Structure 1
Amino acid sequence: MPTTPRTVHSKWRKTAALLRHRTVRAHVPVTKPMNRQTLKDMLDRHRMVYAKPDIGMFGNGVIRIEKRTGPGGAPVYWFQSGAVARTFHTFGAMYDALGRYKKRRSYLVQKGIHLLKHGGRRFDLRVMVQQSPKRRWETTGLIGRLAHPRKVVTNYHNGGTPMPVGTLLATHMPKARREAVCRRLEKLGVDTAAQMARSFPGVKEIGLDVALDRTLHPWILEVNTLPDPYIFRTLKDKTMFRKIYRYAVAYGRIRTRARSRKR
């Protein structure tokens, strides 16, 4: 008997699903399939965008692109991929160079969110949401991801540093506000997971990558349907990891040694 897939690879399909939810869509940055015209239009409007492969993992292939003002007011185009940054005097030259980085992969272009910083480094947050043993959606973990100082992505597998959310938010707001922000993120996580499950019934867990802008509005940068639970094990306090692990065992993502031996 065929099973319903638990993993959705296409970022565009996941974005389209979120946009169908009246509340969740207010947290989704403008995102479009990337071509020459959509990139130019997005840069003219937003000045800074991120180009992402429609199918990809760990932040690989993500490119930050900016339209800046050069000497005499002339536009200058800039992009960074990995630790490599390049500058161009025309959009056409920049777009041609992008082709060598994106190759033949399908890309999306997303409005850039100016992330909050900690110690001069950008950070975002991972919101872990899982189906409980009682089959209810529950936010089981929140963790911060501090970007590598020379890179534009925060992913742990691309040089980012996992950190407690409270540590990263402490320089931006008092404790009471931090607690309110975390509660809001927990609810956003549950709403997002429920919407994903409506479109993709096999989904049992999601990892929500969320950016807070300077007004503390949360923006969903990406939804992962096969999130890494072990990033939470890097925290000194293992409480979240133990719960995440227990839930993952319950719905079959992780098999314990005892279960493996029985089979």
Structure 2
Amino acid sequence: MSKIGKTKAVEARASLRQYVPTTKRMTLETLKQMLAQYKMVYIKPNVGMFGNGVIRVEQAESGKAEEKEKEKEQLFSYQSGVTVRKFKTFEEMYASISRVTKSRPYLAQKGIHLLKYRGNRFDLRVMVQKTPLQTWETTGIIGRVAHPSKIVTNFHNGGTLKSVETLLHSYLPGSQRKGYIKKLRTLGVQIANAMNARYKGVKEIGVDVALDHDLHPWILEVNTSPDPFIFRRLTDKRIFAKIRRYSRSYSRL
């Protein structure tokens, strides 16, 4: 269940490292350093589901105002749920975050500025399963559009489900879109093989993939107990039918 452990399993494959955003165990020092470098960082419980407990932390660029004006600036902020809190200093902000996270282990991850659909951020869930022939296959890709006031895209946290074709329509023409989706399917299988090398009992994974403005895919998280039922909401019913058939072959459904 450890997100750090699963991140290390993926990073063990040199070919996959370019897709993994910098991810570290959260401490005062690691968060401060990553904020200074990336300006936006997501922190999340090392063990958790459905986007619960995820916090978006930001450091604003300091302007060229006079020193007196600078003193009034609130350079640090974080959003938890729908609430945004702002602070003048990192230390004040970290103290507030610590009251939210308490003693639970958290990780800090480089923030990716997600593509948007009709003004709302989205990412993708890539479902990869062991086939009855014991090979890995990407059986479904679905898009998750965040609720306008939230930072997470999870369906169980107010997100909306859309087909990957719909979400990529305004970013890629038809022929390129098909090729890009094929690359995502291949990436899913590569991630499954990396996970299987470390966790032998894994039969399925759900990979949360963020796309930045260069359409570079980023592996945000690998779930080893993904919800298959979100794929029922796709118009193409063959996708969920295959997911269910494969799940039954290893006694998941």
TM-score (norm 1): 0.92
Structure 2 counterparts to residues 73-88 of structure 1, below 5 A: 76-88=75-87
Cα-to-partner distance string for 1:199-227 (whole Å, 9 max, x where unaligned) = 00000000000011111110000000000
Deviation at 1:58, TM superposition (A): 0.2
Q: Which consecutive unaligned segments of at least 5 residues does structure 1 have?
A: 1-8, 255-263
Which residue does 1:69 correspond to in 2? 61
TM-fit CA distance, 1:70 = 5.1
Gaps of 5+ in 2: none
Matched to 2:219, the amino acid is: I
The corresponding residue for 1:132 is 131
Number of aligned pairs? 246
Summarize the alignment of residues 1-263 of structure 1 with structure 2, pairs less than 5 Å apart: 9-69=1-61, 72=65, 76-254=75-253
Alignment partner of 1:69: what SS?
coil
Distance in 2 between residues matched to 1:249 and 1:109, nearest whole Å: 36
Does structure 2 conserve the Cα–Cα contact (< 8 Å) formed by 1:163 and 1:235? yes
Moved beyond 4 Å, runs of 4+: none
Counterpart CA distance in 2 for 1:226 and 1:13 is: 15
Task: Determine if contact 1:145/1:156 at 8 Å carries over to the other structure.
Answer: yes
Give the equivalent residue in structure 2 for 1:259.
none
Find the aligned partners of 1:149 and 1:67 in 2 and give their Cα distance: 21
Distance 1:102 1:176 in 2: 45
Distance 2:159 2:107 in 1: 22
1:238 is displaced (CA, Å) by 1.1
The RMSD of aligned alpha carbons is 1.0
TM-fit CA distance, 1:236: 2.1
Does the Cα contact within 8 Å between 1:69 and 1:75 map onto a contact in 2? no
Specify the alignment match of 1:258 in structure 2: none
Counterpart of 2:195, as a letter, is M
Relative to the length of structure 2, the TM-score reads 0.95
SS of the residue aligned with 1:154? coil
Identical residues among aligned pairs (%): 54
